[in-house]
Amino acid sequence: METSTDTALVVSVHQFGPGREVRVNLRWQGKHDVGDFELDQLGTMSACDVETEHTCWAVIDPRHPVTPGDSIPLRPRSI
């Protein structure tokens, strides 16, 4: 699994509790913060925490199936 500096990559997906929520583990390269990525494209996020400089996890209620290898683009920059 390769990542570029303009995307975050879903590394793993785990069922979280009895409902539809899942915990996704994400990885990226470059000088970014988790908030730099369009995580809301995955679904409604209820929790998120940074683990290392280039990894985090998020608990989401997905809008569509999320699978390892899915990529999340950077948010558009404001000028």
- Asked if residue 2 has pLDDT above 90, the reply is no
- Asked if residue 61 has pLDDT above 80, the reply is yes
CB 65 within 8 A of CB 27: no
More confident residue, 6 or 77: 6
- Cα 39 from Cα 48, distance rounded (Å): 10
- Asked if residue 1 has pLDDT above 70, the reply is no
Tokens representing 34? Answer: 């988790």
Q: What is the pTM of this model?
A: 0.85
